Amino acid sequence: MGMLNKKSIKDIDVAGKKAMVRVDFNVPLDADLKVTDDSRILGAVPTIRYLVESKAAVILISHLGRPKGGFDAKLSLKPAAARLSDLMKVRVSIASDVIGPDAKEKAASLKPGQIMMLENVRFHKEEEENDPAFAKELASMADVFVNDAFGTAHRAHASTAGIAEFLPSVCGMLIQKELSFMGKALSSPEKPFVAILGGAKVSDKIGVIENLLGKVDTLIIGGGMAYTFLKAKGYAIGNSICEDDKLGLARKIMDKAESNGVNLLLPVGSIIGKEFKADTENKYVPSDAMPDGWIGMDIGNVTIEQYTHEIRRAKTIVWNGPMGVFEFPNFAKGTKEIARAVAESGAVSIVGGGDSVAAVEQMGFAGRISHISTGGGASLEFLEGKELPGIACLKDNRGKIIAGNWKMNKLPGEAAAYVRELAPKVEGAGTETVVIVPYVCIPEVVEAAKGTSVKVGAQNVHYEEKGAYTGEVSAQMLLAAGVEYALIGHSERREYFGETDGYVNRKALAALKAGLKPIVCVGESLEQRELGVMPEILRYQVKRALQGVTADWLGTLVIAYEPIWAIGTGKTATAAQANEACSIIRKAVKELYGVEEGGMVRIQYGGSVTAANAGELFGMPDIDGGLVGGASLKSDEFARIVKFE
């Protein structure tokens, strides 16, 4: 989950700053050094345009090809700069070097709204060596680093990772989109989830297959790698490509798929060729009738029909790799028909890999695919669950916080036993876990939570430090008891005890001044939602609750959105509705404190969170966790929520 939680250019103030942006302009050039495919340049335009419009000075950095060492005019980025200039309709200057005097002079004189590009960063061998001194020289020209080159994010190079040691570092819109689509597919996909994997070798996709087997409902195998699986099942495969040293692994994968309840599909028939040539003699055979000496080149029509049937049922699809020898027209039908099925599925669809992307583009389906990934090797490593250095180095965004509000439940002994059960289940979850317990349970719960990652919260706090307030407890008392969080303004206290926005504000200020972390609740009623005044209500509640709260306290403050209309009414907020409300709250905070400071505040969703909906809710961009009620009373279910299972 750590890689998904990164700050973007929209989370920081870039006005008046020099932003060094790592882009992937490794584009094909013709003999006249003209760009023949500008899709990678087009992909970076939204980030560049946003920075320009936000009054940043933009310094672009990229590689092109594989220079042998030193300057090579054929691998200059001048054609890319010219093409970007045409697309942006502004001048894009290019330095004659990377960290030399021309680059530094141009960078120093660059004004807000202007764009320049450094020469091919791989003209320096120190780039691929991730040399710290070289990275520091790059960083010296800018105030902030933006990585928007997903295609190189799996490389620990100076311009992708090393530079982040010397500058505040965030992601651009392209990487943010990659993380959003692929991250959600891996963490909380809408079911049924179908993965389609092709290509020549099983060894290229081992990590991906093993990672996906615990997530998908159906795994479709095509391309040359299918013949390793077919041979492992005992079928003759003629002269088809096969990794004999991976036959045992293929059997283990099939066994694991069966034990996990995953529907693993292999070709039931192939289009085969006499030789590995575009114009070779070809014919169709069932998978159990492959003749000696022939080569499997594509999936057949029956297999296309079976695969298409599964794809049509899907709600989430990830596709990486062709179904056959796509570069030969006689053996491209399988890949093209799978492209058609994915495009027509209506599912959230993610396509990566050169031939898969080429197929959807050639068929004119690109506009019907939810997301086309820009990173070949990076996409595969992301699907494997590996950490990508070019993303891991970026600043983390708001961490997730999931708090269980027990309300008036559990006696002290029960509460302590619960925490001892919960702690090992949530260890290493990467999520801040809080139990908000009745006052009488605090001493035993605090003791049980010692040495664990579980934190303790109280269900209320008074705004005075001491005095004649029968039945109340101050922030100082809670801190002395070992409490870290206090729940303030919960809907039940507003309804049953008449707590007003003014009281909520006074309590929040008292907690913050004492060093207690408040979880401040806001939310609209059913009547307010139906009247269409939800945005105004939330904005008012937020601004009133935070009156007098300084920006220094924002890092410890949590806001919980409670859709009061969904509590006890039988109505449920969708993930989109929950995110809309949390987005309104975040905008209100940013209006008060600015973009960067306002982006620090964590916002929870607090309306009927369960293990079944946690993944979808917490995968939304403006939801930073949950305030969980009844589902937090059982340690097993609460642990599943904390881990988004």
The active-site residue out of 126, 127, 484, 562 is 562
Place of tokens 């039988």: 570
User: Which pair of structure tokens corresponds to residue 448?
Assistant: 């049980």
The active-site residue out of 154, 381, 490, 616 is 490
Largest CA distance in the chain: 95
> What's the distance, CA 188 to chain centroid?
11
DSSP per residue, 552-599:
GGGGG-EEEE--GGGSSSS----HHHHHHHHHHHHHHHHHHH-HHHHT
Active-site annotation holds for 157: no
DSSP letter assigned to residue 387: P
Contact between 639 and 422 under an 8 Å Cβ cutoff? The reply is: yes
Collapsing DSSP states into helix, strand and coil, what is residue 92?
strand
Contact between 98 and 119 under an 8 Å Cβ cutoff? The reply is: yes
> In the β-sheet with 193-197, what is the strand arrangement from edge to edge?
263-265, 218-221, 193-197, 316-320, 348-352, 371-372
Pick the closest to residue 564 from 497, 492, 486, 458 (CA basis). 492
* Beta-strand pair 295-299/269-273: antiparallel
User: Which amino acid, one-letter code, is at 230?
Assistant: L
Pick the closest to residue 275 from 240, 306, 246, 245 (CA basis). 240
Active-site annotation holds for 490: yes
Total Cβ atoms within 10 A of residue 1: 16
Helix (H) or strand (E) holding 310: helix 301-313
Contact between 64 and 80 under an 8 Å Cβ cutoff? The reply is: yes
Residues labelled catalytic: 490, 562
